[in-house]
Each structure stands twice: as C-alpha cells, then as structure tokens.
Chain A
Amino acid sequence: MKRRNFLSAVGSGVVAASAGSLPQGVLAAAPAGNGPVKLGLLFSQSGAMANNESLLKDISLMTIDQLNAKGGVMGRKVEGVVVDPASDWPMYAQMSKQLILSDKVSALFGCWTSVSRKSVLPVVEANDSLLFYPLHFEGEEQSKNVVYLNSPPSSSVLPAVEYLMTPQGGEAKRFFMLGSDYVWPRTINKMLKGYLKTKGVPDSAIREQYVPFSHSNFQSIVREIKAFAAQPGGQAIVVLTVVGDSIPALFKEAINQGIRATDIPILGLDVVDSDLEGLDTTPLVGHLSCWCYFQNIDTPANRQLKTDWANYVKAKQLKHRPDMVIDPMVSTVMGIQLWAQAATKAKSFEPAAVRKAMAGMTVVDPAGYTARMDASNQYLWRGTMIGSINAKQGFDILWKSKDIVKPVPYSPFIKG
C-alpha cells in the first residue's frame, strides 16, 4: 500500500510538473517529439442525438487522420480522444472536464444541441480551453472559449424566412412555429416573432407550439397545422425547430395526413439529410431547410470532401451512408482545419495562442465560399442557402447568398 501511494505521489508529481511548470514556450519551441497532441471529441454515440453526433465524431477522426497523413501539426501527430456523453446534457459538462483535465486535450470539438453547449460553457471558461461548436444555433451568446463555426440565426434563418415571404418564395403570410421544448427553438421563435412584427405580421397569424424531446405522436399537432393553414389570412408555412427523433416522426405523420410542400411548406431549421434516412421522401419533395452547406453544391473542394468521406466510411466499415455529407460535418472539418492553421501560425497548441492566431483567418468552405473568422468575435463568416428536399433523400439548392454573410451574434429582434 505504502509503495503504491509513493508511486502514485511521484506519478502525479511528474504529471503536475509537465502540465503546470513546463512553460508554454517549451512546447512552442520544440513542437516535435512530445507525443501526440490531443483533441477532445465530445459527440454522443447513444441516446437521442446519436444519429447525428456520431457522424461528427467520425468525420473528425477522418480529418485528424488526414492531418496526420500530411505529417501532423508542427511535426506532432494529432490524436482524437472520443467520449460518449450519451445525449445526456450534464454529462457533456462532466466529460468535457475529464477531457480537459485528465486527457489534457488542446481543444474540444463537440455538442449538437444548444443545451449541451450551455452545459460545457462554464467548464471551458473555467479552464480557458476552446470548444469548436459546429452547429447553427440561436445566437445570443459570445464566449472567448467557444468558436462558433456556423451561422447565428440573423444570418441564416431570417434571410430564409424573408425569401419565403417574397412572391417567388410563395408569399408566406402566416406562421406555425413548432419546436422541441428547449432554448434553441424558443429563442429562434422569439426572434422570429420580433422580426415578423417589424414586417407587419399580426399576432393572430402566428401560432407557437412546443413538444417534449423525443416526442413521436404528432397526430393532433399535424391536424392542428392543417386546420391553421385552412383558416383565412393567406399562405401558411411551418417553421420547424423540433430536433432528433421527432423530425422523422413529424414528417411521417405529415405525409400520412397528406401535407405537401405545395400546400404548406415546412421550413425545418434542424433538418439534415440524415433525418431523411429511412423516409420515402417523394411526398416530402419541396419542403425546406436552411444551412450554410448542402452536399449538392458542385465545387472541387466539396467533390474532394465527399470522395474522402465515402472512402473513409468504406475503409472503416462505418454504418453511415457513404454518400451523405451534412453541414455540421463540414463545419466540423473546417473547425479542425482552422485549429490546425491557427496552431501552426501561433506555433503553439495553447488555447489562448490559438485563439489569437485565429482572428481574421480564412478557411476553405466546400460550399464554395472562403469562410473568414471574424476579427472581433469568434463567429465564422459563412454563406447561407435554402435547400429543398428532393426525392433522393437529399436537398436541392433553391437559393444561396452571393457571398459570406456577417454574423450577428445578438439579434436586435430579441428584447430583454
């Protein structure tokens, strides 16, 4: 016993010495030869979010492999440390703490839902680490410890809704907002209501409904949507912010009750190709989604990424569809590339140095833009597009912005 205590005391002393007392300069001066540099991958592989988050985990590992094939970052191999927070929000905080403190990761890539990000936020702030967050979300947040790789709603959702209110977009006049009951849908809808008010849409033309997580019985809600759409006041659309399993459940019910995009278009803000897996999308053709990337974009960078992913899925015998790449996956890849570029520029893996090097940095966006990190906040400037569901379980691009759009973290349409 004594012996073991002694050894562990020595052991922890060594760890403490290497972590605490080794100055950053040493790492920076001699980047090679210190073993691999670690990145924490905080994506659920079980629970309600597993479907989507496991894609991000695997494409992260692929990008890390690619970095290593090119000799790593500053001569050091990169290693992805995978954990499974099991779609359990407090678990994200716990596991991020473990990744930072015991695995000593240089940066974290992770989270899908806002509630999981909010759960990790205090941890990365307390330890001055960096979380690269690949999802579009409700905005209203700005932390120096989070890198927001996707668009806040003012540069993604509002342009999409604005388009749907034009004659070309079908002149939407009435809005049925249906969301899962948590911060992202509620904030988006609050913002949207503020925005619609400035457009002269009366309160009576807006209906708001929330369902619990993993809600799958949408009979009465779909019936209500149909009734709402048939009422006077003009064309109705559904702004859908339900997440996870609820998305295919809602679509199934909508198909069965005969809702078609030509009658009531559904703008699914969290709908990606993977949600359409397992659905016959012929009756869903024309429903909409808005993201910074859809895989049908035809650019050399995107073709390369899609080929890489298909090969990786086959080589590793993953259960994912080899022919499906979605926006958060691309954002994750861009995030890892951004991190590698910034670390190389800073000649350091320290979060503070990486953060400083990242400001104003550009990175290739497979969607055909050159994305740029904002110089003052940590939001990435991205392009934005509206996709329309096609019969092949994917999206065609209905509309896209000419260039990257300035991200507005705090929406003027939310008061208080």
Chain B
Amino acid sequence: MASVSVRLQGHGLWRRWLRHVWLLSLCCHLLPAQAALPTDERRALVVALCTQPAAYRATLDRVVQAVVGSSAEDAAWGQALLKGLADVALVCREQGGPVFKRADGHVDAATLQAVSEAVDELPMVPSLVLARLLKTSQAEAELFSPDVGTRRAAAQRISQAYAQINEPLVRQALAKASDPEVVATLELALAKRQLASDQAPDRIDAIRALTKAPSEATRTLLSNHQEANPAMDGLEHEALVQALKSIDRALKLGQIGSIAFSGLSYAGVLLITALGLSIVFGLLGVINLAHGEFIMLGAYATFVVEKWLQAYAPGWFDAYVFLAIPFAFVVCGLIGIVLEMTVIRHLYKRPLETLLATWAVSIALIKLVQIVFGSQNVEFITPSFLQGGVQVSAGFFITWNRVFAIALALAIFGATYGLIRHTRFGLLIRATTQRRDTARALGLPAPTIDRLAFGLGSGLAGLAGVVLTQIASVNPSMGTSFVVDAFMVVVLGGAGSLVGTAVSSLMLGEVNQLIEPFYGAVAAKVAVLLLIVLIIQRRPQGLFALKTRS
C-alpha cells in the first residue's frame, strides 16, 4: 500500500509538469485541462482499486475526472475501467499488472493493449462497497452524457447516493444542465448535503427543498436530522416539523394509493383467471379441474410466439405479447373444443365423473408439456415497455406489468360481457344453458353451442396465461395454483354471472391486499378463505345468483 501511494506522489509531480504543457497548448479550455494520464499513473489507479479498499473513493474520483476531462484518450480509458469493473472483467494479478478480460483475450488495464501471456486468474468481483461507489461514479460520469435519458437516470442516482458524491463535479454538471428534471434532481441532491451545513438559513432552505420531494428517504433524512440536533433554533424546528407533517401526509396518501392499486392488480389477475371458468363452470356447469392447465397452455403458447419472433422477426420482438393474444386464444379454444368432443360431452349431468375426468386431463396435460418443454421455468424476456414502473407520488409506485394485467383483464372482461350479453351467439349460449329443453325444442343445436361455449371458456383461460407470463413464473405445474383461486372467485360471485365474477375478484383482491401489508400474506389468504366460507353460508348461490338449467 505504501509503495503505491509513493508512486502516486511521484507521478503527481510528473503530471503537474504535463498539465503545464497541456495548458499551453489549449489555453482557452473551459474544464480544468488535464493531460493524458501517463501509463504508470493509470496503472497505479487500477492497482489501488485492486488492493486499497480505503482509497476507493479517491481513486474513483480521479477516474471520473479522467472520463469527463478534456483528453479523449483518458476518457476512453476511464470508461473502459468503469465498465470493466462493473462487468467483472478486471483481473488483479499477483505477478504483472492488472488486465481486463475481453471476449477475445486480455488487454492491459493501463494501456488497453493486448497482453500476450496467458492469464489464468479469475476477474475481481466488486465488493458491495465498491459496487455502490462504482455506481455513483458511473452516474457522475453520465451526468455529462449527450443523452438526456441517461442524464436523468444519473441524476436520480446522485440524489439517492448524495452522501458519496463528488460535490464540485456535481455542481459543475448542474451549472451546465439545461433539462429541468435533471436540474431539479441535482438540486435536491445538493439540498440533502446542505442539511449538514453549519449555517442555520442554509439548513432551513434544505428542509424546504426536501419538503417538496416527499419520500420515505427524505423523511428518514429529516427525522435523523431532528434526532441529531435536539437543540435547534425555533425557526428551523418549525420548518422541520412542518416538513415532517407534510411528508407524512403525502406518504399516507401514497400508501392508500398503493394498497388500492395492488388490490386492483390482484383483482385483475383473479378476474382474468376466473373469466374462462365463469363460462365453463358458471354457464355450462362443468367442473373443469383442467382449467389451470388451459392457463398454462396459454402461457406456453405465448412462449412459442416469443421464440418464433425471436428467431424470425427480432425487430418485432416486443410485440410478442400482443401477437400471443389471438394465438393463445385460438390454440386453447381448439384444445378445449377437442376436449369437449372427446371427454366432456359424454359426462354432462354427471359432475363427479366430470371432476375426475378433467382432473385426469389436467395431469395428462402437465406431463405432456413436461415432455415437450421440460419442467424448468421457461424464459420470458419482458418487452421493454412492460419493464419497470413509475413513481406516481411519494410511496406510491406502480409497475407497468401490473397496469398491463389490469388493462387486459378489463378489456377481455368487456369483450366477453359484450359477447355474452349483446350478440346472437351469447344469446344462444344463455338460452341453452338456462332453458335447455325449451331451447332445443325451438331448434337450437344445443351440443354445438355447448362445444363452442366450452371452447370460448378455454380460450379465455389461454388469455389468462398470456397475462401471467408477465407476472408469475411459467412451468408445467403453474396451473394448479390458479385453479383454486379461479373456483373461489366464480363460486363467490355466483355461478353463471359474469358481473358476479368481476365483483367477487375485485372484492377478494382488495381484501387480500388490504390485510397483507399489516398481517402478512399467510393471514391474508386465511382471511379471504374465511370470508368466502361466511358469505357462502349466507348465500350458497353466490353474490349474484342466476338461474341455470341445473
């Protein structure tokens, strides 16, 4: 360690001399002009990252200086170093200088020239501390990126890791920043640091600035500040109390929002998984235990579409979710029709046998998919527009995949409701299921309608599979966990009533998510089941009863 610092000092002199030369040649440069770092100094910086955890901050600061400095060569080297560290490509060697591991061999970490000798050591895995500092350093460098999106993300990181930042550099970036979002975020970061100022007016300014950006983190910052300074003056104290009050209010609202949202999104999943069953069980009266497997088949149909697009139309890859919607519906619908023709139609009005037969079908389908696709989870690359989410307000974060699930659930529910209530086909289904004999006497082809209705239910289950690829993990046995939920929803809602299904999934979703944050997921599940038992005791026919042929 000692030797490294001696070397650093030695090269400091060398660098100063070089800087003079540089200044002479570029006398009107705005940034503090920097000479290209000599190889030895670069190497010393890399060695320091390998061996001196205590000097991480200082070393990385100099690397960032190199990246944002005026020498293009240094910038390229600094970027290579930051990237090499983050990608776990830096090999620190006992003998010889550090090198980067590249796909086609090794390059020297200081000169970026290929090294000829064989390197058999493994790259250094950054410790958590180094990883944190590294991320902040990368953000500092990215504040100067030409891309505004990158700058915004970098500013977010700076604000989050405000304690670690190189303040002069951030101020420099702020002076140059034009994007209002970047400016606001960086000002917030500086305000967080200003809270530690020894000037009371500065601190009060900082408190006011933080009040405008309520979050759990700022609340913690302010309450820590309150605890650390019990004897602050009246003005500051007042500002602080005001700030905490306003942040608490915002967080409370955020919590209500997020509970409602997660209830809604859970309800969306329940609704979409139960919708197909609501037709098959509710209208046709078939206890279809293979319902979960149709969901699973829908998910695998999505998988097939995904793989197909990946292979043949990578440009359209992100659209696979939408392409999978008709595909999964048709595939599952057809399989449903085949199942109806071969098994179900022989078992109408024999619920016990139907139950056993569909259970057998469910096991057979699981095994079949296992043989074809294997039992491991299958890979879904989330389309870029469904990744991540957005902070709606303090403490209220929504994720795009849930929004997608809710939207799709509503759309599919709307379409199904329209189909059943407002089309001729829906009319025929309702007629056949409610007054079968009358319908037949009027000349309706009841068996065909049964078959189509069963296919519709199966197709809807397939659509649930499409949505679940973005939320749950997909494997051959995924269906079993959804079939129970689906039956709960349909039974509670009242067999045969689509509106009942929607209301009961909304109810179960919200109740579950209301309880979960306070008493845990297990308690939430118990509470929901008890609630269903109680309601079914009072109303055995479900919330929205409908007369059917049974």
Contacts and interface: CB of A to CB of B under 8 A. Distances in A.
Contacts of A230: 215-217, 219-220
Interface residues of A, number: 65
A266 B255 CA distance: 24
Interface in B252-273: 258-259, 262, 265-266, 269
A277 interface: yes
A74 interface: no
Nearest to A386: B125
Interface string B466-484: 0000011111111011000
Contacts of B127: 168-170, 398
A203 interface: no
B289 to A, nearest CB: 15
Nearest to B376: A51
B374 A319 contact: yes
Interface in A225-275: 226-227, 230-232, 245, 248-249, 252-253, 255-258, 260-263, 265, 274-275
Nearest to A251: B473
Interface string B393-407: 001010111100000
Interface in B373-411: 373-382, 387-389, 395, 397, 399-402
A306 interface: no
A261 B86 CA distance: 13
Interface string B199-221: 00000000000000001110110
Contact of B471 (A216, A258, A318, A397): A216
Contact of A216 (B370, B373, B472): B472
Contact of A232 (B87, B122, B126, B224): B224
Contacts of B259: 220
B500 to A, nearest CB: 22
Given A47-B477, A298-B122, A221 B521 contact: yes
Nearest to A54: B375
A162 interface: no
A278 interface: yes
A144 to B, nearest CB: 33
Nearest to B509: A217
Interface string A322-355: 0000000000000000000000000000000000
B83 to A, nearest CB: 12
Nearest to B262: A219
Contacts of A308: none
B376 A252 contact: no
Contact of B377 (A181, A215, A248, A398): A248
B389 A245 contact: no
Given A51-B375, A277-B377, A390-B88, A167 B129 contact: yes
B128 A164 contact: yes
B128 A256 contact: no
Contacts of B223: 232
B377 A278 contact: yes
Given A216-B481, A278-B474, A256 B513 contact: no
B350 interface: no
A298 B259 CA distance: 48
Nearest to B469: A278
A413 interface: no
B135 interface: yes
Given A220-B517, A231-B220, A261-B131, A50 B477 contact: yes
Interface residues of B, number: 68
Contacts of A232: 220, 223-224, 227
A256 B389 contact: yes
Nearest to B224: A232
B478 A261 contact: no
Given A219-B265, A320-B376, A256 B216 contact: no
B388 A256 contact: yes
Q: Is the interface of A mostly helix, strand, loop or mixed?
A: loop
B132 interface: yes
A277 B376 contact: yes
Nearest to B251: A227
Nearest to A387: B125
A320 to B, nearest CB: 7
Nearest to A208: B520
Contact of A245 (B126, B370, B378, B478): B478
Contacts of A265: 128
B397 A258 contact: yes
B311 to A, nearest CB: 18
Nearest to B223: A232
B376 A274 contact: yes
B236 interface: no
B516 interface: yes
Contact of B129 (A45, A50, A170, A215): A170
A313 to B, nearest CB: 11
A33 B521 CA distance: 57
A81 B265 CA distance: 45
B160 interface: yes
A143 interface: no
Contact of A320 (B367, B374, B395): B374
A209 interface: yes
Interface in A126-152: none
Contacts of A181: 522
A215 B471 CA distance: 12
A147 to B, nearest CB: 26
Given A209-B520, A248-B473, 8 more contacts: A46-B370, A51-B376, A169-B129, A249-B473, A258-B397, A274-B377, A286-B128, A319-B376
28 contacts: A46-B370, A46-B476, A47-B480, A51-B375, A51-B475, A87-B477, A168-B127, A181-B522, A211-B520, A219-B266, A220-B262, A230-B215, A231-B216, A245-B475, A245-B478, A249-B472, A249-B473, A256-B399, A256-B400, A257-B397, A261-B131, A262-B132, A262-B135, A278-B378, A286-B128, A320-B374, A396-B88, A396-B125
